Amino acid sequence: MADLSNIYPIPYNTVSSQYFYQNQLDVDPNGENNPLTKNEQLIEDFKKTLKEKPGNLLTAGADIFKDIYNAIDKQEVDYLSLTTSILGLVSIFVPEIGFVAPLLGLFYRAMGTGNTTSDPNMNDIFEALKPKIEEMIDSKLTQEQEDFLNKTVEGLQDNLSNYRNAVRTFTIAKQSKNTDKIKAAKTFLQRTIDIIDQIFTNQLAHLLSSVHVKLSLPYYAMMGTLYLALLKDTITNGVEWGYEDVVLNTKKYELREKIKTNTERALAVFKSQLQTKLTPLETSDYNKQVDYITGATVNCLDIIRLWPTFDPLDYPIEIDLELTRVLRNGIYGDQNITPPQQPFPTDTWKADSTVDINDLQTGGIGVPIYGNKNLSGITIHQYSDSSNWFSGPDGITQQYTDGSIISYGKTDQQASLTPIAIDNPLFGINFRYPWPKAFIDLIFFKNQDNYYYGNFRYLANHKIHAVYPAFLPGDPIPTHAVGASFIPLELFPQNILGMPDVNGNINAKGFPFEKSSKNSSVRLEWINGSNPVYMKIYDSNLIMNITNITTTNYKIRFRIATNTDNETLTISIPNLLSPTTIPLPNTSTMTNEFNDPDTAHAVGPKGEVNSQYVLVDGPAITIPSGSIELNIEVNSDDPIYLDRIEFIPIPNQIKFKRINIKGDQVYEIWKDNDYYSSYLSGTVISIINPAYDNPTVTFEYFDGETSLGTTSKTFNQPEFYGIPKWNGKKFNRVTVTTSNFTYSATSTLVFDSLTINDITSKPSQFTAPEDLEKITNQANQLFTSSSQTELANTVTDYRIDQVVLKVNALSDDKFGVEKKALRKLVNQAKQLSKARNVLVGGNFEKGHKWVLGRKATMVANHDLFKGDHLLLPPPTLYPSYAYQKIDESKLQSNTRYTVSGFIAQSEHVEVVVSRYGKEVHDMLDVPYEEALPISSDESPNCCKPAACQCQSCDGSKRDSHFFSYSIDVGSVQSDVNLGIELGLRITKPNGFAKISNLEIKEDRPLTEKEIKKVQRKEQKWKKAFDQEQTEVTARLQPTLDQINALYQNEDWNGSLHPHVTYQDLSAVVVPTLPKQRHWFMEDRKGEHSGLTQQFQQALDRAFQQIEEQNLIHNGSFTNGLTDWTVTGDAQLTIFDEDPVLELAHWDASVSQTIEIMDFEEETEYKLRVRGKGKGTVTVQHGEEELETMTFNTTSFTTQEQTFYFEGKTVDVHVQSENNTFLVDSVELIEVVEE
């Protein structure tokens, strides 16, 4: 028997640690039900493999390919969307093997996993494109069209497989160090590339010249991507693959020209097909136009927008380019409605377009714009007739993240907006027409799998940006049709820069100017993934607000298009960068340079602005962590089109030109008095005749004039040799010496790609005895006594880290023994600090017990921290927080605890400490400040005020880096595990925080006065707690009784009573409890979710039993009309939130034939049907036996009949006998005794 005591045995204040750690996210970030997060995880896994073990991707069976295709087969990710996302990684440099060879396992399942599947659309990317092409052209592919597409890619897989084998052969030959094998492998690889080059060239030209050009764009994009990526790989690995410099220069030019011309050709085809499909005023033609634009954008234009990043000269490192283009779906509902004439409000910003859709009548379609805001709330007002059938929306109100509100038609002032959470966006609309039986409700990302009905089209990996109604001519309301615009699922308004990846690296970043203050001054552009902003001399400044997470040196550059000479652009950042004027070329007249492509940026394709897009360099600047306001103004009478601004990290390294050795000598590669490096990287290329030369190359590292050591290599044969990483002390000078080498026409020795890495300022080195004495005293002062077994009460965890930094700065040469002993002593202090800390993992080290937001990450190499620290990033797509609960068992009664930590920098971080109810609730904005040099005195290295006076560094409120609070514990509440909860979270989309050294430690016993005070708090808490338990019990008990009544012996794991029907289950409503969501982490389950989950699971088990008993497949219509044979107008509608079969006219019917397993003539069967209206249900069995059930009701009623069958084959037929017959469920079950 189920009762509340075993369902809800122990109440929790908010959520117990045991319960919580077993019930993590609503959607596990590595789980099966979140396409966005699964997408992200697979992309990160592919990127990690590509960077760390790319050779694993050259053969079938790599784990990442198994994971990808497993996710595709389970429909956890969209094959095409995932492929497009991974193509965005093309700017990653992959030594020796390039990007294309590892990518082929994604394009062809057989090359990724070694096998294929029965579904041809899931076996290779080209087959997967065919259904998308059909959607795009709004028709099924004819056999001739299929033959054309198949012919285009015929033999391509085999040739690409040969290429991958050639790459693998080269890597094996190189490892063998056999000169003849290496030479043969290079020749074979170059020959294979030449063959594929010719195939791509021919087939790409054929695609756009065929009579089937209207369906060619998706294939053209995918084939063109492989081709251009192959050219890019040839350039980046050309020296190793044996290409001469003159050949590589030609390929650099060819790559740039092909990126430009191939893009322009695709755009021309797209526009030509677009124009032929415009037939104004008819909704069906409008929808065809929209479907074509959407299909071509997602499957072609979104891909070719990446092509300029394939140029390794302009994009030598990985770059993230945001996608801001907006797509529409069609108008769904009454097909007699004219396309929306003016569905947009007269607002300064329009929810979907800057161009009136009246332009349809003259050949246009309007320009959907992003507006730099996301949908945050929506209400749809529905019209209903006298019988309360909803006919559709007659009013829509939408709120956006900037606070603006857009309304159409009727509004209900009393109705509250349905909020749209950042991690649960509006995915679609469950809308179905015709009147008067239409229905409409909202589909959010997390419940998208629960909907099967309606004809509203969704877009994979997109979310709704705006919903708008279509209007009947001359009668704007009510309406029976709606449309929507969509933006990428990962798009958000904030411009976030400097976010480290999983390895702590900062990638290049590009922001569309569409995300600026001039987001309404845009022009349509199809090929960039965003619409450019246009500016003239008298326009107001363009402002971009940017949040920079990591202090980084950046090269700023702009992608622009112009049509005139002598124009300029001025950039400034208040208190950081004074106005800097940048001359702009006339990009319409520029051409790519053939002779020296390394000296200029590529000239890109010509778009809708009638000019070519080109990168223009801006200033190099160090941008501190925090918020900046970037201003741009132009000096031009003619428009300047601003596509995007790019921030390219300038690495803390120095690169040197190639050194060609002419004979035995010493070269000084690098020397600096102020900076030190960790290692030198590069390649030694030896092309020698072993009979005459056996050169030795020696690298020597210095600290000033003191040698730190050498590394040497003697060459006995031609080979490429990567300079081994120096693992000794940091150096500020390095030389290379060659010996036993004679330069000749056939013998060369080359140092290539020489790079000084990880450059830092001169490290502190204490050599004076007084420094040792000061640091020794500080280490001893960490303890209460000379026994060094207990920390001083005033010592914080952060103080211990500061002392170890000072110990590490002692000179090894001068104080090596003392330094070792002091380090051991400070280590002991750190271990004692961890032991007294009731938090687990206060430094976020391995094994911590923090519950973190999905994007929270550990970051290293911050001057204010000894080890890693926690970065809470801006909550743009997911909430950003860190949370930990201290179990009651760790706490002492009548005791004060101190809660403390160190924040290097924060904007909009909320700190909450709770036991009886948020005793601490604080907002901290800690400014960016730089670390001081490590000193030997007691002062910490925090902090030197920042040199700049930008918003983040000079805010009106300046909180301390170190925070400390007290919280009192009264009596121990072990029965409810009350505990202490500590949470830190970012409250605004542009906020962030860098945190470590968090601790909660026992301070002292409470005084008598303090005990009385905390007892009063306990009484208030206990009263509220008991009242909540009473209310929860009152809500749960009726539902508990209903569910108990379903099961025999009230056993939820047992069998149902035979009389239980689908309707009995529908009548059970699981109550909504107040703590479904966690009080601090809104994307996590609360304590009550476990209760309602148990109730729902009991109902699910009951439903499954009914389904198993029912001989009719899908008798509840839960899976739409699956398993039913449909005749006439039969479809699903919604009634009381349940799917119901609707037979709209007397000629409509559904039927199903079943075979009874283990049939026996003496078995009795029961037919049970719930329906409304006029209709019949017939059961035919044997040759002539027919059982009939007749309905003629104005409300839903349930009828039952029992009978014996003459044979095992039974046909069930449901037929309407009038205009409408509704059927809720059909059951055919074996009668059993209870």
SS (H, E, C) 91-140: CCCCCCCCCHHHHHHHHEHHHHHCCCCCCHHHCEHHHHHHHHHHHHHCCC
Q: Virtual CA dihedral for 1004, 1009, 1014, 1016, nearest 10 degrees?
A: 170
Strands in 502-625 per DSSP E: 508-512, 533-535, 542-548, 552-561, 567-573, 577-584, 603-606, 612-623
Residues 6+ apart with CB under 8 A from 1006: 894, 895, 896, 968, 970, 1014
Please state which of the ranges 171-175, 277-281, 476-480 shows the lowest mean pLDDT.
277-281
Domain boundaries defined on the chain: 4-23+1014-1107, 35-316, 327-487, 495-649, 654-758, 769-1013, 1110-1230
Distance CA 635, CA 562 (A): 12
Residue 1 confidence (pLDDT) above 80: no
Over the chain, what is the mean pLDDT? Answer: 86
C-alpha separations of 404 from 209, 349, 369 in Å: 48, 9, 15
pLDDT at position 460 is: 83
Integer Cα distance of 514 and 559 in angstroms: 13
DSSP-derived 3-state class of residue 873: coil
Say which residues have a Cβ less than 8 Å from residue 1202's Cβ, sequence separation at least 6: 1164, 1165, 1166, 1167, 1231
Share of the chain above pLDDT 70, in %: 87
Q: Which residues 6+ apart lie within 8 Å of 851 measured at CB?
A: 20, 21, 24, 881, 882, 883, 884, 1081, 1084
CA gap 897, 1048 in Å, rounded: 52
Render the burial of 563-578: b for 16+ CB within 10 Å, e for the rest: bbeebebebbbeebbe
pLDDT tops 80 at residue 283: no
Residues with Cβ within 8 Å of residue 412, at least 6 apart in sequence: 379, 381, 395
Residue 148 contacts residue 219 (beta carbons within 8 Å): no
Residue 42's pLDDT band (boundaries 50, 70, 90)? Answer: very high
Average pLDDT in the 895-923 region? 97
What is the C-alpha separation between 1141 and 881, in angstroms, rounded?
Answer: 46
Helix ranges restricted to H, 950-1086: 1008-1046, 1062-1066
Strand partners, 647: 509, 556
**Average pLDDT score over residue span 923-940:** 92
When the candidates are 3.40.640.10, 1.25.40.10, 1.20.190.10, 3.30.300.10, the CATH number that belongs to 35-316 is: 1.20.190.10
* One fold for 654-758 and 1110-1230: yes
Q: Judge contact between 957 and 925, C-beta under 8 A.
A: yes
- Residue 161 Ramachandran class (φ > 0 left, ψ -120 to 50 alpha, else beta): alpha
| Residues contacting residue 240 through CB under 8 Å, at least 6 positions apart | 95, 96, 174, 720
- Answer yes or no: are the C-beta atoms of 1138 and 1066 closer than 8 Å: yes
Q: How far apart are CA 529 and CA 84, in angstroms?
A: 13
Nearest of 179, 182, 181, 220 to residue 201 by alpha carbon: 220
DSSP state, residue 388 = -
> In this predicted structure, which of 934-948, 952-966, 1126-1140, 1209-1223 has the lowest mean pLDDT?
952-966
Which token pair is 1044?
């108990």
887 contacts 979 by C-beta, under 8 angstroms: yes
Q: Which pLDDT score, from 0 to 100, does residue 519 have?
A: 76
Closest-CA residue to 470 (of 561, 334, 370) = 334
What DSSP assignment string belongs to 1057-1081?
PTT--HHHHHT--PPP-TTSB-SS-
pLDDT digits (tens, 9 = 90+) for 229-255: 999 999 999 988 999 888 999 999 999
140-149 pLDDT tens trace: 999 999 999 9
Token pair 């077994």 is found at 789
Which region, left, alpha or beta, applies to residue 753 given φ > 0 means left and ψ of -120 to 50 means alpha? Answer: left
Position 475 pLDDT exceeds 60: no
Please list, in sequence order, all residues whose beta carbon lies within 8 angstroms of the beta carbon of residue 446, skipping any fewer than 6 positions away: 26, 27, 33, 34, 424
Question: Which pLDDT belongs to residue 352?
Answer: 36
- Answer yes or no: is pLDDT of 24 > 90: no
Residue range 327-487, CATH number: 2.100.10
The backbone region for 48, taken as left when phi is positive above 0, alpha when psi lies in -120 to 50, beta otherwise, is alpha
Kindly state the percentage of the chain with pLDDT values over 90: 56
CA 180, 182, 183, 188 dihedral sign is positive
Instruction: Please write the tens of the pLDDT for every residue from 296-325.
Output: 999 999 999 999 999 999 998 899 999 999
Task: Give the model confidence (pLDDT) of 582-601 as tens digits.
Answer: 999 999 999 998 766 666 89
pLDDT value at residue 197: 95
* pLDDT band at residue 350 under the 50/70/90 scheme: very low
**Within 13 A of 730's CA, how many CA atoms are on the CB side?**
17
pLDDT of res. 282: 60
- Between 1137 and 576, name the one with better pLDDT: 576
DSSP letter at 515 equals G
Structure tokens at 69: 């295709």
pLDDT bucket at 1138, cuts 50 / 70 / 90: confident
CATH H-level superfamily of 769-1013: Galactose-binding domain-like (2.60.120.260)
Structural class in CATH, domain 1110-1230: mainly beta
Provide the CATH topology of domain 654-758: Jelly Rolls (2.60.120)
The answer on pLDDT for 644 being more than 80 is yes
More confident call, 920 vs 705: 920
Rounded to whole angstroms, the Cα distance separating 1027 from 1074 reads 13
Across the strands, what pairs with 783? 791
Query: pTM for the full model?
Result: 0.86
Query: For residue 193, what is the enclosing H or E element?
Result: helix 179-209
The whole-number average pLDDT for the span 490-516 is: 93
Say yes or no to pLDDT of 953 above 60: no
Q: What pLDDT, in 10s, does the model give residues 1066-1077?
A: 889 898 888 988
pLDDT of 339 reads: 47
Beta-ladder partners of 679: 757
Closest Cα to residue 993, out of 1148, 859, 1121?
859
Longest CA–CA span in the chain (Å) reads: 111
The pLDDT tens digits for 46-78 are: 999 998 899 999 989 899 999 999 999 988 888
Are 754 and 655 spatial neighbours (Cβ–Cβ below 8 Å)?
yes
For the domain made up of 495-649, the CATH class stated in words is: mainly beta
- Asked if residues 989 and 492 have their Cβ atoms less than 8 Å apart, the reply is yes
- CB within 8 Å of 1180: residues ≥ 6 apart: 1186, 1187, 1210, 1211, 1213
Read off the pLDDT of residues 631-640 as tens digits, 9 standing for 90 and up: 999 988 889 9
Structure tokens at 775: 């640091």
Residue among 535, 577, 584, 537 nearest 559 (CA): 584
Does the pLDDT at position 12 exceed 70? no
Q: How far apart are the first and last CA of the chain?
A: 18
The H-or-E segment that residue 1231 falls in is none
**Lookup: tokens for 49:** 């493999």
Q: How many CB atoms lie within 10 A of CB 701?
A: 22
